[in-house]
């Protein structure tokens, strides 16, 4: 199996009630997949199925036997009275590689520091997570994800809490990390421009019409697809 993740004739939904079916998808190393769709279209359910947090209603999901996820949520809140530092937050990502009951080794700590450096937050390592700006928090969550040395990075609306400048910086950072580490990336976003700029493969999903479309960016970004999914009337000539 060369794919990191493969979905064969999968139906997604909850409690045996599918709302999108006949999903066939293969995610391979070093691909950048963007997931687009209207609000409530099933993007989060698809993501949870791929992350193996919920089972498909039907069909089969295959996972590479050495698959390690690096997950970056939309946001992560900690009670301000719990003073977890940036370094401690990033260290959490390393425990996916540590046997239960073991402490981080010197090598693990070096990888944590390297992850913070890659995300540009080494100078924030002693700051509390709750004191950071939106962009700094996203960089910290990204550093936590890559500290586990994943082979697929899953991003759920990674720029939702930042401004335009912060969005550009986060996305450039993701692209640099992917290029350096040869990771696969799966990113859910509401921003068509961002997804089309950074992704090489796309997924369009809409549970209201039970539609799932995937392929290369050139294959998917057709006028008919955009009109159907977003109600747009674009001239792409």
25 φ, ψ (degrees, to nearest 5): -155, 135
Residues of the chain with CATH 3.40.50.300: 1-67+151-237
- Per DSSP, the chain holds a count of helices (H) and strands (E) of 8, 9
Q: Is 19 helix (H, G, I), strand (E, B) or coil?
A: strand
Confidence at residue 236, expressed as pLDDT on a 0 to 100 scale: 47
- By residue count, the chain amounts to 237
pTM of the model: 0.87
Residue 121 neighbours by CB under 8 Å, 6+ apart: 86, 90, 136, 139, 140, 143
Query: Residues 206, 230: contact at Cβ < 8 Å?
Result: no
Report the pLDDT value the prediction gives residue 235, as an integer from 0 to 100. Answer: 52
Domain 1-67+151-237 superfamily per CATH: P-loop containing nucleotide triphosphate hydrolases (3.40.50.300)
Parallel, antiparallel, or unpaired for β 211-216 and 201-206? antiparallel
What pLDDT is attached to residue 52?
92
pLDDT above 90 as % of the chain:
51
Q: Give 82-128 pLDDT, tens digit per residue.
A: 789 999 999 999 988 887 778 899 999 999 999 999 999 999 999 99
Q: For the chain, what is the mean pLDDT?
A: 87
In this model, does residue 66 exceed pLDDT 50? Answer: yes
- Residue 233 is predicted with a pLDDT of 57
Residues 208-228 have a mean pLDDT of: 80
What pLDDT was estimated at residue 232? 56
């Amino acid at each position: 199996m060369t794919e990191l993740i493969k979905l064969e004739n999968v139906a997604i939904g909850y409690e045996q009630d599918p709302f999108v079916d006949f999903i066939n998808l293969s995610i391979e190393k070093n691909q950048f997949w963007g997931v687009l769709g209207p609000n409530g279209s099933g993007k989060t359910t698809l993501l949870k199925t791929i992350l193996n947090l919920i089972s498909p209603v039907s069909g089969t999901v295959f996972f590479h036997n050495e698959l390690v996820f690096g997950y970056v949520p939309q946001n992560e809140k900690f009670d301000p009275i719990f003073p977890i530092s940036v370094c401690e937050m990033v260290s959490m990502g390393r425990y996916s590689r540590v046997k239960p009951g073991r402490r981080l080794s010197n090598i693990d700590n070096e990888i944590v520091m390297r992850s913070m450096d890659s995300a540009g937050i080494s100078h924030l390592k002693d700051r509390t997570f709750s004191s950071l700006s939106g962009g700094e928090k996203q960089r910290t969550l990204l550093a936590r994800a890559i500290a586990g040395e994943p082979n697929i990075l899953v991003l759920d609306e990674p720029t939702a809490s930042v401004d335009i400048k912060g969005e550009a910086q986060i996305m450039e950072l993701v692209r640099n990390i992917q290029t350096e580490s040869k990771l696969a990336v799966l990113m859910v976003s509401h921003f068509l421009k961002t997804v089309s700029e950074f992704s090489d493969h796309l997924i369009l999903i809409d549970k209201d019409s039970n539609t799932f479309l995937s392929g290369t960016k050139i294959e998917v970004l057709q006028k008919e697809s955009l009109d159907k999914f977003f109600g747009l009337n674009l001239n792409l000539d």
